[in-house]
Structure 1
Amino acid sequence: MNQQRVVHPIEEESFRRLRARVDTSYLAPLTRAVVERVVHSAADPAYVTDLVCDEPTLAAAHGALHTGAPVVADVEMVAAGITRRTAVCRLKEAVSGPGLTRSAHAARLAYEQVGPGAIWVIGCAPTALEELLLLDAAPALVIGLPVGFVGAVESKAALRESGLPSVSNISEKGGSAVAAAALNALLYHPYDPPHHQLAKENA
């Protein structure tokens, strides 16, 4: 999991151009990693001010992710975009019903499978995010970046108001690619286990 990632020259050049256009140097390390990868995935510098991140929250989620916390995706497109980790996605088995969308049912099924402490990556369905907020799921992190003109802004605002550890954005923008990119940023960022840090301090 912590094997050094080989970065393609095209990606290196893309990030060089991104940083030449937008100053992200003032951001804390994990926040910068998430913001830059989201901007890169969408070629949209406006995400620099649209995203809502918190460095201590990201640090805790980064540790949880690298010590085995399960990852849940709301749709297959999000799951397909996540590298280095298999994500749980139960949408294929979910059904809709009165007052319940397939995406909301899939969130219920996923929670029954993974329990508390998971990292949830929602990039498509506001109703999946709304259902998650009702589940008392005690997540390690919710990457809530659903896209759309109906329910997306409201569900992301509700996520922020819930007090759950989260990454979200203010506008209608979002989508599978940017949600997966936010998770990948945490996967790619180097992880130094606490016992390694302690050993360095005592050396």
Structure 2
Amino acid sequence: MNRVVHPIEQESFRRLRSRLDTSHFAPLSRAVVERVVHSSADLAYADDLVLDEEQLVRAHAALHAGAPVVADVEMVAAGITRRAAVCRLKDARSAPGLTRSAHAVRLALEEVGPGALWVIGCAPTALEELLTLDAGPALVIGLPVGFVGAAESKAALRESGLPAVSNVSEKGGSAVAAAALNALLYHPVVKETP
């Protein structure tokens, strides 16, 4: 089923492209950059995001083949359209040395197993915890926001070698993390001809 794009969204992307040249990005990278910029009205994301087209191609295929999606918080899950996301934050408990967000990641991994797409837009501790686990993700969208641990957790994600979308600065958040996943959801699947 094709997605119907509202005229306001069409005009918003037209204006975005008039102010930001994204033509040098590969197709999925361009889709992610544009959707993140659109969701935040922050053109600087074009230079702040760290993406790898080959990783996005594999994640796009996994997503459209039915791989589960995990969100760190309900705001991220609510922002993901056309796909239900697992979010275990309501079931999580904090303990000494363990935040609720970190515990929620453990609970979600028990539920979904390897091969999921992880979308972390709020809690750096959720991203830090994911990096300690053998999650075998199809992709980690690591865009937590904040002045404590956000940039550091995203740097650790990039250093981990896991397939990822991240950014260099402290900015991020639920809206941009969900937007990055939505870009992959909205991007058409190209059917190969025999």
Q: CA deviation at 1:136?
A: 1.2
> In 1, Cα distance between the equivalents of 2:79 and 2:20?
25
From 184, 187, 197, give the equivalent of 2:192: 197
From 130, 136, 153, give the equivalent of 2:128: 130
Aligned residue number for residue 62 of structure 1: 60
Q: Deviations over 1:133-172 (max 9, x none)?
A: 0011010000000000000000000000000000000000
- Between structure 1 and structure 2, the one with the greater Rg is 1
Under a length normalisation based on structure 1, what TM-score does the superposition of the two structures give? 0.95
Query: Aligned residue pairs: how many?
Result: 194
Aligned residue number for residue 11 of structure 1: 9
Aligned residue number for residue 77 of structure 2: 79
Under a length normalisation based on structure 2, what TM-score does the superposition of the two structures give? 0.99
From 14, 24, 27, give the equivalent of 2:25: 27
Q: Deviations over 1:55-102 (max 9, x none)?
A: 000000000000000000000000000000000000000000000000
Aligned residue number for residue 176 of structure 2: 178
* Unaligned 5+ runs, structure 1: none
> In 2, Cα distance between the equivalents of 1:176 and 1:23?
25
> In 1, Cα distance between the equivalents of 2:177 and 2:135?
19
> In 1, Cα distance between the equivalents of 2:24 and 2:37?
16
> In 2, Cα distance between the equivalents of 1:24 and 1:73?
27
Instruction: State the percentage of identical aligned residues.
Output: 80
> In 2, Cα distance between the equivalents of 1:125 and 1:104?
8
Paired residue secondary structure (1:111) = helix
> Alpha carbon RMSD of aligned pairs, Å?
0.5
Aligned residue number for residue 50 of structure 1: 48
> In 2, Cα distance between the equivalents of 1:125 and 1:180?
14
Q: Deviations over 1:9-41 (max 9, x none)?
A: 000000000000010011100000000000000
Runs of 4+ in 1 over 4 A off after TM superposition: none
> In 2, Cα distance between the equivalents of 1:49 and 1:164?
21
Aligned residue number for residue 36 of structure 2: 38
* Unaligned 5+ runs, structure 2: none
Q: Deviations over 1:97-137 (max 9, x none)?
A: 00000000000000000000000000000000000000110
From 60, 84, 92, give the equivalent of 1:94: 92
Aligned residue number for residue 159 of structure 2: 161
